[in-house]
Structure 1
């Protein structure tokens, strides 16, 4: 099962350090932006899921940095569903610069959580049906 979506992000000045290099912690936000848009392309929004009792917290985040992103660069963040979701959903990511060079590789695992009980639940059928 491989479903991929790509987004473009322009690096803002506030995301960089004194050297003009993107602060490493900002990459997690880029991954989140790609993941949210991946779901939106599928026809599901985070907001709608949360309004309907499903939360999706990150339980694992791994990033392997290859090359620095800098102020005003346009990055492409590619998010790919790794396998059919169950109680968890897992994504692999690549972040590319404008030349197509890989700046970072990443992986996240998120858990489906019932917002009332805070207990894990299975992936909602409305997501599985769209896959």
Structure 2
């Protein structure tokens, strides 16, 4: 399975009064992970936007397992959980250096035209992206994940 890794050094501003990372910041970290994954596959989200296409989140979830605190170093592991040519489901794990899983999550995205927000087919509009996502999906299926 192709997994992209994004290192995060937890900043003080990302924590709450309890001294742990504020829950909404994990969603920002998921976005960083997704962007890194796309870059690691050889693409740039900004190029898609230049063509008038956006990829909004249509669903997102996070499950908090262990606290992350100011000064911790964590990594966000990101992979393609599911892809069908129209939707992409990205999977995420936020892990400490000792491999403790702190947060898991998923985000579901579609691609839409910027002007109308009407969905487009990734398969047709971005055939190279489609080819790479299919390749990543096949690796995931062949490993039984």
- Consecutive unaligned residues in structure 1, runs of 5 or more: none
Aligned residues: 130
More helix by share: 2
Q: CA deviation at 1:3?
A: 2.8
CA distance in 2, matches of 1:29, 1:85: 25
Q: Which residue of 2 aligns with 1:15?
A: 14
Query: Residue 99 in 1 paired to residue 98 in 2?
Result: yes
1-structure distance, mates of 2:132, 2:86 = 17
RMSD, aligned α-carbons: 1.2
> What's the secondary structure of 1:72's corresponding residue?
coil
Q: Runs of 4 or more off by more than 4 Å in structure 1?
A: none
1:69 corresponding residue in structure 2: 68
CA distance in 2, matches of 1:117, 1:16: 37
Structure 2: runs of 5 or more not aligned? 134-145
Could you state the TM-score of these two structures normalised by the residue count of structure 2? 0.85
Q: 2:130 maps to what in 1?
A: 128
TM-score (norm 1): 0.93
